[in-house]
Chains A and B, each alone.
Chain A
């Protein structure tokens, strides 16, 4: 029985893990219905998941200005990102998602790729575990493989759930704002839709239907400017670490703040949004 764990020079016997993802391409990708990575099997997680809009992370479709600028930065960033493993990249995406108030782009390619690999790992683990010829060394390696698998599963779980939380929190807002839709996966968008309906039904049946007709809507704005539709607050401060020099920004007070490489700041999200989306700064 060929072992998954033999020296790489017996490669032809070893089931290959999917090759590294091709470099991410700028912009146009937001029109893709599904991830463009080479699919190993028709049956993969990828094809079973609903059409996933996987735009280049960080490009928001309602940003008309500065696209040219952004493309240049991405090229630099591609080189930077190629050196980083997928697990680390997901770790950063997770950190970003947890550290910011609004929704960021769904890292479809990354998640799909890791899910596929996990699935394959699991199959191999199951096969080897039940094979009586598996050596002690191989059994030990399986333990290490499984330990890593639990870590990656945990990361994906936490990432997905963090997004779910935000999606449910701002579900109404998301439904009402088409430009946000490309940031979500197909499944997330569908969830946002159905959740909004579920909530609406609940409120209607619980109280709204018992109120006068003119009070039955769900998108009022109150006298103090507060709207019933909760939106993320772009003024919420975020912690950022500058992986490269980002020049200066003007704070609300009028002062300048230098975002030098290696510096860390607590600053209002909307002032540094571009840098967060382009990956020039990391969110803690």
Chain B
């Protein structure tokens, strides 16, 4: 049946909140399914085109069956497109969520360190391999767009710093959960973050490291 494949795509996409919950791994891009749907759609297109060529003008009263079949094919093709785009859009949302959740750290987002944090026990795909090449391009493009937008504000504030919780005290007590090595903080201070050690620092300076899981607020 036309549209069965598209239904599969949409159902999978709809059922799982995996895509849009940044803390969970993004499911792998359903390439085979997508290719099949595109193929089916092209075939529909070809079928419609050749029917148009061989029949010229059609009228509803005389060629009812034909008109019916053409309509079904046309609608099926459009529906496929809609499903494909819905799937892509859903993933785009998930990709953007992950970018923001990582505080805009693209390298970190795509690295294996992040993968370990996101799904420590399973061997689910890390983000990079879950994305299609086009999605990777999109991510990079979005990253650039946002870096540009950030710049206007950067002298004063970092747009990618968290907004989920309003600021409390400006200093925060942290404990190092994972070795982060020597880090240069805002203002030039150098701190060696070794596992198990505690520090009291400006929240804005270490927020990134907290988000990325190197530090834990105490």
Hey, which bits of chain A sit against chain B, CB under 8 A? 45, 48-50, 115, 118-119, 122, 143, 146-147, 150-151, 153-154, 156-158, 160-161, 164, 168, 187, 191, 194-195, 198-199, 201-203, 205-208, 210-212, 214-215, 220, 222-223, 228
Taking residues whose C-beta sits less than 8 angstroms from the other chain, chain B's interface range is 35 or more
* Contacting residue for B45 out of A119, A150, A198, A214, CB 8 A: A214
Is A211 touching B157 in the complex (CB atoms < 8 A)?
Answer: no
B10 within 8 A of A: no
Q: Contacts A150-B203, A211-B45 hold; do A119 and B145 have CB atoms under 8 A apart?
A: no
In angstroms, Cα B161 to Cα A150, docked, is 11
B137 within 8 A of A: yes
B167 within 8 A of A: yes
B114 within 8 A of A: no
B57, chain A: closest CB distance, angstroms: 19
B183 within 8 A of A: no
B118 within 8 A of A: no
In the complex, chain A residues whose CB is within 8 Å of the CB of B84: 207
Interface contact tally, CB-CB below 8 A: 115
In angstroms, Cα B135 to Cα A6, docked, is 56
Of all A-B residue pairs in the complex, the 8 with the closest CB atoms, nearest first, are A212-B45, A210-B38, A150-B167, A153-B157, A202-B138, A206-B134, A158-B163, A198-B141
B92 within 8 A of A: yes
Is B81 touching A215 in the complex (CB atoms < 8 A)?
Answer: yes
Beyond A164-B149, A187-B152, 8 additional contacts (C-beta under 8 Å) are A153-B157, A202-B134, A202-B138, A207-B34, A211-B38, A214-B45, A222-B78, A223-B75
In the complex, chain A residues whose CB is within 8 Å of the CB of B195: none
* Contacting residue for B153 out of A160, A198, A222, CB 8 A: A160
Is A154 touching B166 in the complex (CB atoms < 8 A)?
Answer: yes
In the complex, chain B residues whose CB is within 8 Å of the CB of A222: 78, 82
Which among B75, B96, B142 has the greatest number of chain A C-beta atoms within 10 A? Answer: B142
